[in-house]
Amino acid sequence: MLCVEAQEPSWKDEIITYLKHNDLPQDPAAARKLRVRAARFTIIDGELYKRGYSQPFLKCLTPSKADYVLRDIHEGICENHLGGKALVGKTLRQGYFWLTVKKTHWNW
């Protein structure tokens, strides 16, 4: 039996394509925006990481994986029941990042 996991489209795809293959959108404004945004990221062992200012690299997550990580930290073995801001802060300190990280804490 072969188990194939369908890969969901993600905010990471455009950045990864640019960093790996130097492919830019045809629109000059979109191309410039992508170059500026991609400068904050790097690929290590095939995974996308965001460069942190005062932190090590942060592993970039898809929305579904970000939800899993948040739930694991929130409901995990210690069951800390952290508030939204504290939960997102702890997730960042654990070395994870996703595009809407600053908006996420309002949903918890």
For residue 104, what are the CA distances in angstroms to 3, 42, 77, 87? 31, 23, 22, 10
Write out the two tokens for 71: 């739930």
Residues 6+ apart with CB under 8 A from 42: 19, 48, 49, 51, 57
pLDDT at residue 78 above 60?
Answer: no
Cβ atoms within 10 Å of 64's Cβ, excluding its own: 10
Residue ranges per domain, the chain?
Answer: 10-60, 62-108
pLDDT at residue 99 above 50?
Answer: yes
Q: E strands of the chain, at which residues?
A: 41-44, 47-50, 58-60, 96-97
Task: State the pTM of this model.
Answer: 0.73
- pLDDT band for 77, please (50, 70, 90 cuts): low
Residues 6+ apart with CB under 8 A from 65: 98
pLDDT at residue 44 above 80?
Answer: yes
pLDDT at residue 19 above 90?
Answer: yes
